[in-house]
Structure 1
Amino acid sequence: MALSSLAAAQGYQLDFSPSALKGPATGTPNEVLVLATPHLSQLPASFDATNLQLLNDRLASWKPQAIAIEALSGMQCDFLRRFPHRYKESIASYCWDLAPAPAATGLDVPAAAAQAEQLLAAWPAAPSASQRRHLAAVFLAGGERAPAVVQWLRLPESERQAGDGLDATLVEQLRTLEGKRDESYQIAARLAARLGHERVYAMDDQSADSISTDRKAYGEAVMKAWDNPATKKRMRANEELNKRLGTPDDVLAMYRAHNGPGVGRLVFDSDFGAALNEPSPQRFGRNYVGYWETRNLRMVANIRDVLTARPGSRLLVVVGASHKAYFDAYLHQMHDVCLADVAALLR
């Protein structure tokens, strides 16, 4: 019965494909470049972020007009905090202690988000150092760390100091974040500052997170599904890449590998495809795949929302490597999104 139902479902043919109806007929299309990245925090301790130089040069040459990152917005963290019974672990993992910023600025997250929008809507062509410090403080109060770092990096070094809402605690936070081994700062924020952007855009989404009724069994089932030849192949490839990260050319080669052909299928075979067929009676693997697809769809919706406000622009997305193939597939369905080939840019 199950096989016949699957065959019947697969036999249904759609007569409408959004990806076949691209627009607009005139004007500049929206272009999106999705960069798959390893999480820099998980690279060997010997990794030197200055070796991202060649990668960042290639990305800068594409001239993105906006950059989206795999981070939760302050507004989503504010939402998650309202439902701690479901999101307690997500808050601990993906959100951060806001107490110092509201204490320094007098703003909670909604007020800070509103003020940041108002400031940017009237932002001058040549803002003063005082204005940049103030906007950085507002971003921090709104839970937007990476945009705050963009403003910090756009300040002359002599102006990277307390004042205008930034107290000593917030200045120390920015200095720490500036050097943090995280692609949101070492790639996205630095590139945004270099290109004259005022911010980056958080597009991650953890609202599909939930607590399993049997976490131990859930974890064991998914881990067992991951124990397969494709996973071992991925691990061997990553280990070899991680051995050779001593120069900018080595790091660029690593990014070529993560963004090369066939990676999406290997990720599926090792991870989500294996989980989809995980045989537990509770169907834990299918729960996991449902979470993954929902998360990616919501992340892609956030990316599309960034483009909505600026039709005809180029958007760079910096995201963990397992997301890229899903992002490309989902973004390709959008009428007003054209994908750019990151592999060609990295050659």
Structure 2
Amino acid sequence: MLRSTIGGLLIAFLAFGTAAAQTYRPAFDPGALKGPRAGAPNMVMVLGTPHLSSFPESFDPDRLGGLLERLEAWGPQAIAIESLSGPQCDFMRRYPERYRDTVEDYCWDPAPARAATGLEVPAATAEAKRLLASWPEEPTPSQRRRLAAVFLAGGEQASALVQWLRLPETERQVGNGLDDVLVARLETLEGRRNENTLIAAPLAARLGHERVYAMDDHTADAAVSDKEAYGKAIMAAWDNPAVAKRKALDDALADEIGTDEGVLVLYRAYNRPVLAQLAFEGDFGAALEEPSPQRFGRRYLGYWETRNLRMAANIREMLGFNPGMRALVIVGASHKGYLEAYLDQMHDVHLVDTDTVLH
């Protein structure tokens, strides 16, 4: 009887502890303690975007003109992009047993730039920092070509493209560390259809920036032992009404991208709160409740939340180097709600509603 009583009390205690854990909220709320009292705050706008690589070949990149005009008028002083930094890719290459697939999918191999410049990624990263620390108001074409080559050696392709776009067309040529292979790479990047090369780099060049900031993070990536079972479980979780609703929305918006105004309609829709809620209900919330005994869905959710937390940390680090800046974050739309929620907890981050810029 004593054992039965103790067992009952233990079950009741555990149940109470679970309920308390679900209802407890910390009294300290850093997001409510905004500053500074004097000086310009950090203003951050998170622009959720579809991945332009998924657009049909018939899409004309010139249709992004209206979007670029509005972003340029807002005048961000720094642009962060959903891309892995050169140093993170360099780190991942040292752990192939965990990150081989990630490197293959997300990291360009800077070997051609290393051959042209003699710089490994750490040295190129340091050299780019050194060059920018004493960067002149009116750099020569040779200086821009050199910095583009150094950025490529450091694995920072989008920043190299910014320097390339800031060159007069007649100066986009071999020299100062750029050989034929690297020039061909920059020309390829210029025509690549994704948001980093069609929005972020051209916008940075228009605004007179010298670089963009890669803030994505894939250090939470890890192989699963049973890929087939994992994939089957996640796909089953995604088979739900919220996913169907989002697909219908995507299909309807796809018909809008033939004009500048249509592209703006698409971006306004992708940045409304309803999309973040649909992303949760159809994807991450569904994974939270995925019932496999291996808890595949919760493992996937753990990766997703960790990735977004580290992305938010990278953005916050960028702001800390030059407090009081206006920053634009360009990221896949499913990240937007998470990044805004995490960034809003920072004392010195004030979020900007995209509606105020896109209308």
1:345 maps to 2:347: no
Match of 2:342 among 314, 330, 335: 330
Conserved in 2, the CA contact under 8 Å of 1:137 and 1:170?
A: yes
Deviations 1:160-209 (A, max 9, x none): 00000000110010011011101001100000000000000000000000
| 1:4 to partner: Cα distance | 5.0
1:110 maps to 2:122: yes
- Opposite residue 334 of structure 1, the aligned amino acid is M
- Opposite residue 319 of structure 1, the aligned amino acid is V
Match of 1:23 in 2: 35
| 1:285 to partner: Cα distance | 0.3
1:315 maps to 2:331: no
Match of 2:252 in 1: 240
Conserved in 2, the CA contact under 8 Å of 1:36 and 1:321?
A: yes
CA–CA separation in structure 2 for the residues paired with 1:307 and 1:13: 28
Match of 1:285 in 2: 297
Match of 1:162 in 2: 174
For the pair shown, the structure with the greater C-alpha radius of gyration is 2
Conserved in 1, the CA contact under 8 Å of 2:256 and 2:265?
A: no
1:294 maps to 2:306: yes
| 1:214 to partner: Cα distance | 1.0
CA–CA separation in structure 2 for the residues paired with 1:33 and 1:164: 36
TM-score w.r.t. the length of structure 1 is: 0.98
Deviations 1:4-37 (A, max 9, x none): 5542212213110000111111110000000000
Match of 1:60 in 2: 72
Q: What does residue range 1-347 of structure 1 map to in structure 2 within 5 Å?
A: 5-347=17-359
Percentage identity across aligned positions?
62
CA–CA separation in structure 1 for the residues paired with 2:244 and 2:280: 13
- Opposite residue 144 of structure 2, the aligned amino acid is R
CA–CA separation in structure 2 for the residues paired with 1:89 and 1:80: 10
CA–CA separation in structure 1 for the residues paired with 2:338 and 2:107: 24
| 1:228 to partner: Cα distance | 0.1
| 1:47 to partner: Cα distance | 1.2
Deviations 1:199-224 (A, max 9, x none): 00000000000001111111110110
- Opposite residue 73 of structure 1, the aligned amino acid is S
CA–CA separation in structure 1 for the residues paired with 2:21 and 2:144: 55
- Opposite residue 51 of structure 2, the aligned amino acid is H
SS in 2 for 1:251: helix
Deviations 1:302-334 (A, max 9, x none): 000110011000000000010000000000000
- Opposite residue 331 of structure 2, the aligned amino acid is V
| 1:344 to partner: Cα distance | 2.3
| 1:123 to partner: Cα distance | 0.4
Deviations 1:36-76 (A, max 9, x none): 00000011221111100000111111100000000000000
- Opposite residue 138 of structure 2, the aligned amino acid is A
CA–CA separation in structure 2 for the residues paired with 1:124 and 1:62: 25
Report the RMSD for the aligned CA atoms in angstroms. Answer: 1.0
Conserved in 2, the CA contact under 8 Å of 1:44 and 1:242?
A: no
TM-score w.r.t. the length of structure 2 is: 0.95
Deviations 1:277-314 (A, max 9, x none): 00000000000000000000000000001100110000
- Opposite residue 201 of structure 2, the aligned amino acid is A
SS in 1 for 2:327: strand
SS in 2 for 1:334: coil
User: What is the total number of aligned residue pairs between the two structures?
Assistant: 347
SS in 1 for 2:293: coil
* Structure 1: 5+ residue stretches without partners: none
Deviations 1:105-151 (A, max 9, x none): 11110110010000000100100000000000000000000000000
| 1:263 to partner: Cα distance | 1.3
SS in 2 for 1:262: helix
- Opposite residue 166 of structure 2, the aligned amino acid is R
